[in-house]
Amino acid sequence: MTQIIPPFLQPGDEVAILSPASFPPTDNWKQGVEVLENWGLRVRNAPNYLSRHHGLGGTDAERLSDLQQMLDDPSIKAIFPIRGGYGVSRLLDSLDFSGFVSSPKWIVGFSDITALLCELDSIGYASVHGPMPHNFCQKGGESALQNLHSLLFEGNVSVTAPAHALNRLGEASAEIIGGNLSLLCHLVGSSTFASTEGKILFIEEIGERLYHVDRMLLQLKRAGYFQNLAGLILGGFTDCNEASLTIGKSAYELVAEHTSGTSFPIAFDFPAGHIPNNQPVLFGVKSKLLVNSQKVQLTVI
């Protein structure tokens, strides 16, 4: 299925910020709004964008209302969740995408926003796995932010990363899907994340014990998600450490183990995920993955 690409942004476009998952713990998101305004965009705050309900950015009803309103509004050209956290998957079954289909727009995010990006992919629309306003301005993220601008306004980006000892060499040209490993496992068995066949799968994680990582990789493997990939990209596995129950391998070594016997190219330690240099990855649009002995290069075709 060929994915529909929303119109690229232009100065003067109106975009929305909201909190469909957790609320922002600091005011860092205000710098993110300044970045969007410096790009020439007009920023609209969703009505409940700073609401709090326990650890979430408002009640389910408030978060759903904000997201639905911005999906429906044809004047909104992009939606920027302020941050991830938890809560997006609680909204998926209540969302109506008919207004979005009439006026497609970019949705940009990562972490818990993986659930929304996968839902968009399942209904045939491109989206961007990339930095969100709360972490736009962290030190080390300058290149990622510049590339996000290029992607959203011009439709092109190419990211180069150093070679890694575990890389499997090769080339692949295919659409990309994926995101946070915990979220992907959470979505297995649902229409939101039904298949990876013929696609490049991207995976990243943060804060999981290594035996949890092993368990989740095994789940994807046993469910067939590694069988017919065009390629595999591993982003940051940040703060994934041994626990009292040790596994004896690093996260990347576990990936290498569970993908043995396959032949697609694999790129380890790609600069994306819960890291400062969180490079944007375009989901649902054919990209070229090149893995050779000198480098890894990911380019939107």
- Encode pLDDT of 1-14 as tens digits: 579 999 999 999 99
CA distance 217 to 240: 14
Identity (one letter) of the amino acid at 203?
A: I
pTM of the model: 0.97
Confidence of residue 163 (pLDDT cuts 50, 70, 90): very high
DSSP 224: T
196: exposed, middle or buried (C-beta count within 10 Å: 0-12, 13-18, 19+)? buried
Q: Which fold has domain 14-154?
A: Rossmann fold (3.40.50)
Please state which of the four CATH numbers 3.30.70.1070, 3.40.1280.10, 1.10.1040.10, 3.50.30.60 is assigned to the domain occupying 158-300: 3.50.30.60
Fold match between domain 14-154 and domain 158-300: no
3-state secondary structure of 81: strand
In tens, the pLDDT along 171-187 reads 999 999 999 999 999 99
The whole-number pLDDT of residue 1 equals 59
pLDDT of residue 43 exceeding 80, the answer is yes
Domain ranges within the chain, ordered by starting residue: 14-154, 158-300
Residue 282's nearest CA partner among 204, 177, 184, 194 is 177
Element (H, E) at 289: strand 287-291
pLDDT at 115 over 90: yes
Angstrom CA distances, 203 to 79, 118, 184, stand at 22, 13, 9
Q: How confident is the model over 214-248, as pLDDT tens digits?
A: 999 999 999 999 999 999 999 999 999 998 899 99
